Amino acid sequence: MLPFQFAQGDSMTGVLTTVTDALRWTDQMWNIIADADMWLNIMFSSFRIIIIFIITRIVIKVVYRIIDRSMARKQEGKIRVNPRRFITVGELLKNATSITCNFIMILLLLSEINIQVGPLLASAGVLGLAIGFGAQGLVKDVITGFFIILEDQFAVGDVIQTGTYKGTVEVIGLRTTKLVSWQGEVHIIPNGAIASVTNYSMSNSLAVVDIPMKADLSLDESVHLVKQSLVGIEERDLNIVKVPDVLGIQSMSTSEYVVRIVAECMPNSRASVERQIQGDVKKTLEYHEMSNQAALEHAAALEKDEGDGTGGA
């Protein structure tokens, strides 16, 4: 009987302990729920969090509008406008603004809920340093691509040469630039590898043509024939800005001399203009030679007829 009574007493003690713990926990929870200062802090923190979020959204919208107006103003003031450049730069600036503002907002929100941001910033710095060392080429490509677009070094459709690669720009990205050569090859060049660029589409080109002339043809006659062939060429080829200039003799030898012609033409049209000038001059010289040959043949025929008539008499 004693063991049973002892066990029963033990059970009652456990129940009382459990009840006491439950009451104590209930009191603690009630004290927490009834803590006016805690609820005031939560309310003010929530209010500050909402204010921080709203202010961040307003700042982002205002900066977006400033970027749009600035890009529109710059686009209106440009004579040679590339709309894709302004769109790309605007989007890059908007993304940078959004990332910066949201990052600051997250730090402020973490500080509002009593989370230390110092260790987080230190960890982020170490992580960024490690990523920077591991992706130096990528970072260089992106930064170079950004400045290529920002400074308008070249645009889509321009003919450029960088290093040994020459072609028409098909795509300008933040990491790579795609060129298409006149033979159809596609060159994909990392922006970080673009050290220097020659842009053939920024301004008018200068077509230079050297025409060899026979030494038995006088200089005045050859210049006259060349100028005669160039009359109206700006109407036949709209890429020619003005009538070409005949500079005169460029070089000479005992058998021939070279007459140089220069013509200002539209960007990236030098080769076609040079072919047009050479074709027109060639036709004029051929016509002149045929005329001389016909005149010689006619004179020889007349001389022969006169000789036959004299012999017959």
- Cα→Cα distances 2→9, 10, 14, 238, Å: 10, 12, 19, 123
- Cα→Cα distances 240→50, 206, 235, 266, 283, Å: 65, 10, 8, 6, 19
Q: What is the DSSP letter of 240?
A: B
State pLDDT tens for residues 129-172.
777 777 778 888 888 888 887 777 888 888 899 988 999 888 88
Residues of the chain with pLDDT under 50: 1-7, 311-313
Helices (H), the chain: 2-33, 36-77, 83-112, 118-134, 136-150, 219-229, 233-236, 270-312
pLDDT for 260 equals 93
Q: Residues of 236-248 as b/e, b for ≥16 C-beta within 10 angstroms?
A: ebebbeeebebee
pLDDT for 110 equals 83
Query: Is residue 261 within 8 Å of residue 277, measured between CB atoms?
Result: yes
pLDDT for 9 equals 52
Q: What is the C-alpha to C-alpha distance for residues 172 and 155, in angstroms, rounded to an integer?
A: 7
pLDDT for 241 equals 86
pLDDT for 11 equals 64
Q: What is the C-alpha to C-alpha distance for residues 299 and 16, in angstroms, rounded to an integer?
A: 145
Residues 6+ apart with CB under 8 A from 186: 170, 178, 179, 180
Q: What is the C-alpha to C-alpha distance for residues 168 and 178, in angstroms, rounded to an integer?
A: 8
pLDDT for 312 equals 46
pLDDT for 93 equals 82
Q: What is the DSSP letter of 138?
A: H
pLDDT for 5 equals 47
| Cβ-based neighbour number of residue 194 at 10 Å | 20
Report the amino acid identity of residue 184.
G
- Angle (CA) 176 144 190, round 5°: 25
Q: What is the C-alpha to C-alpha distance for residues 198 and 167, in angstroms, rounded to an integer?
A: 11
| Cβ-based neighbour number of residue 271 at 10 Å | 12
Of 39, 63, 43, 62, which Cα lies nearest the Cα of 51? 43
Residues 6+ apart with CB under 8 A from 161: 197, 198, 200
Of 197, 208, 206, which Cα lies nearest the Cα of 159? 197
